[in-house]
Structures are given as C-alpha cells and as structure tokens.
Amino acid sequence: MSEPLLQVENLHVDFQTYGGVVQAVRGVSFDVFAGQTLAIVGESGCGKSVTVQSLMGLIPMPPGRIHQGSARLRGQDILASKMIAGQDIRGSQISMIFQDPMTSLNPTMNVGSQIAETLEVHRGYSKSEAFARAIELLDMSKIPEAAKRAKQYPFEFSGGMLQRAMIAMAIACEPAILVADEPTTALDVTIQAQILDLLGDLQKETGMAIILITHDLGVVARMADEVMVMYAGEVVEKGSVDDIFYRSGHPYTQGLRQAMPTNNKSTEAEQTLVAIDGSPPDLFNPPRGCAYHPRCPYAMQVCAQQAPPTSILGPTHQTQCWLHHDMAGALPDGLVSGNEAGR
Ligand code: SF4
C-alpha cells in the first residue's frame, strides 16, 4: 500500500475552562491516503470536529491545547511546524468546507473575489488571473453562468449554490486533503445528493483525499471508503465501510446503525428505530475504563475498570472493546450496576 498523505498518532486536545479541563480528544490515531474518503462519525461532542480543527490550527489556543501526539502531512510534522498557525497548510494543502455556507462567506464581497483572494494569498496570482480562475472553479463546481454569478454577492445565491461556491473556494489551491464538516446538514435532500455527487466527481478528477465529518450514516454509506467511529474523544472502531455497516464489532457502532432509518425494513418491528439509552459522558471527568460502559448493554465488570485494548477483527478492521479480547470468555462476568435496563 502507498504511504499515507496524513498520519495522525495519539493526538490529545483539551480545553482549559473555568470549570476544569475538557478532555475533548483522547489519543486519536488515523491515516488518510490519496484519493480516499475517510468518514469520521459519532454523536455531537464526540471530538470529531475538534480532531480535524486542531490539525488545521482552527482551535483557539488558549483555551485549547494540543498536549500530546503528532500529525505528519507528506512526512512533515504539521503540529511542530510554524506553518500550522500560518497559512501554508490551511487553504493550500488541507482545506475545509463548513456546515453553513451562509455564515462562512463574506456578505460584503462578491463570490468571485472571495475565491480569487485565496489564489492571490496562497498561489501569488494577480487579481485578474485569480478572478478568471475563480470563474473556472465555479464552472467546475457546476454553477450555471459562472462568469455572471462570480460578480454576485452571497445573498443572491441559494443554499445549494452557496455550498458549491464554498467547494470552489476550497478546491482553488488544489488541496491534497479536503475536510468536509457536515457539508450537507443545512441543505434539503435533493441538493444534498447533488453536493455529494459533486464532491465525488471532483475527487475523481483531482485525486484529493476527503475527510468527511458527519453524524449521518446515510452520507457515510454513499461516500466513504474508510470509517472511524468516535466516542467521548476516542476512536472506538475503524474499518472499511463494509466492516462498519455489515460486521461492526463495537456496541456503540451497532447502536448507531440501529438508530439509522433504511428503506429495506418490511415489518413494523424492523422499522422501529432504536435509540441509544443515556447520554455521552462528561468530558471534564470521563468514565474510567471503557467510556461507553455506562450506556453499554453488554458491559462487564472489567469494562468499568480498565480501558479495552485494540482488537483486530480483520485486515482493515479494528475496535476497542473487551468483547473481542482473546480472554473475553475468562473475564470477570456480570453487568456493571445500572446497565440492566439497556440489555
Ligand atoms: Fe461495552 Fe465493555 Fe465493549 Fe465498552 S468494552 S463497548 S462497555 S462491552
């Protein structure tokens, strides 16, 4: 297999607040390869956005702090490098599209000039060259009458067109990695599908990798090659999209899947969505052992005492759960008190 474009190892990010230290990201590791789509999934507050924003220098420090770990982009340590706080990485080699394009674009500048500005800053284009390229990028992003639209302001665009303009801006510098943070949440279903198709087409044309941050498993099934499931600031399962959808090994991933609506269920019982009981833990003081144990229907005594080691479930598939440990049969049995309702 080729070398990864991005290698993240044991990343820890916390936030110092008046109430204490929020341990938002706790030992996250992953690789991203050229042309691949990695989806990072999990409930709100699981640390998926903070993980990527910390790599891009987008979290305010203080109160944020990366206190452990490394991240290498094409072998270069982007956390140790000054570039992380500057502009070389952000917008040139890694760029990002956000959930709400209306608040991400400047309402006082026309759309073409906003895209052109990226090229002037990162690529040294002249104003006229940059504006001409901005029109090409809008055209690539399937905005009709791109030359006319480039001179219009964000308020003159629909939600779907604004997201296309954001994509045009994000790909302007031909990034190696495009981060899409909930890129379709603010859009209706038909426009969602068009935006996902556009991202897929651009990926085929340019060979860029995509990191897709989402809580929508439907989007994951459609777009992702690899999936990383996060819970309470940790990675609990990683695998190919088939590993996660057909062979998931972690009770949390299974819970997310059961909460996902599908068209393939015929009986009423199959159509009932099953919610995961309880709420995500307090990251000021994460639970000891497996962070999921207060909600897990299969929790054993060991789960509340010791963090589970990594279990390899297949060539591309791994999870952090005591159920898959070689010694699982010999582990101290019995439910952790309070979980009986979830069983
Ligand atoms: Fe459940 Fe224990 Fe596995 Fe955690 S380690 S997911 S509590 S069975």
Domain final residue, candidates 166, 193, 224: 224
**Do 136 and 279 have their domain in common?**
no
Q: What's the gap in Å between 300 CA and the centre of ligand 1?
A: 7
Q: Which residues pair with 317 in a beta bridge?
A: 314
**Do 209 and 242 have their domain in common?**
no
Q: What's the gap in Å between 301 CA and the centre of ligand 1?
A: 10
Judge if the beta carbon of residue 21 lies within 6 A of ligand 1.
no
Domain final residue, candidates 163, 196, 224: 224
Cα torsion angle, 207, 188, 237, 244, sign: negative
* In-domain check, residue 311: yes
CATH number at residue 144: 3.40.50.300
Please list, in sequence order, all residues whose beta carbon lies within 8 angstroms of the beta carbon of residue 180, skipping any fewer than 6 positions away: 96, 97, 199, 210, 211, 212, 213
Q: Atom 7 in ligand 1: which residue has the minimum CA distance? A: 293
- CA–CA dist 111, 256 (Å, integer): 38
* Mean pLDDT (the chain, rounded): 83
Choice from 322, 325, 335, 337 to test ligand 1 binding pocket (greatest atom count within 8 A of CB)? 322
**Do 217 and 251 have their domain in common?**
no
Judge if the beta carbon of residue 245 lies within 6 A of ligand 1.
no
* In-domain check, residue 1: no
The answer to whether the CB of 268 falls within 8 A of the CB of 279 is: no
Section 194-215 average pLDDT: 85
User: Which amino acid, 248?
Assistant: S
Domain final residue, candidates 208, 224, 240: 224
Q: Across the beta sheet with 94-97, what order do the strands follow?
A: 94-97, 177-181, 209-214, 37-41, 226-231, 234-240, 317-320, 310-314
Q: What's the gap in Å between 91 CA and the centre of ligand 1?
A: 39
In the chain, how many H helices and how many E strands? 11, 12
**Do 161 and 187 have their domain in common?**
yes
Q: What percent of the chain has pLDDT over 70?
A: 88
Q: What's the gap in Å between 320 CA and the centre of ligand 1?
A: 8
259 vs 152, higher pLDDT = 152
Number of folded domains that form the chain: 2
pLDDT at 337: 41
* In-domain check, residue 194: yes
Q: Quickly list H helices, the chain.
A: 48-55, 101-104, 111-123, 127-140, 146-149, 159-171, 189-206, 217-223, 241-246, 251-258, 268-271
82: containing domain: 6-224
Section 167-177 average pLDDT: 83
Rg (C-alpha) for the chain, rounded Å, is: 22
Ligand 1 atom showing the smallest separation from residue 298 Cα: 8
Ligand 1 atom showing the smallest separation from residue 297 Cα: 1
Query: 217-249, pLDDT tens digit by residue?
Result: 888 888 899 999 999 999 999 999 999 999 998
**Do 273 and 164 have their domain in common?**
no
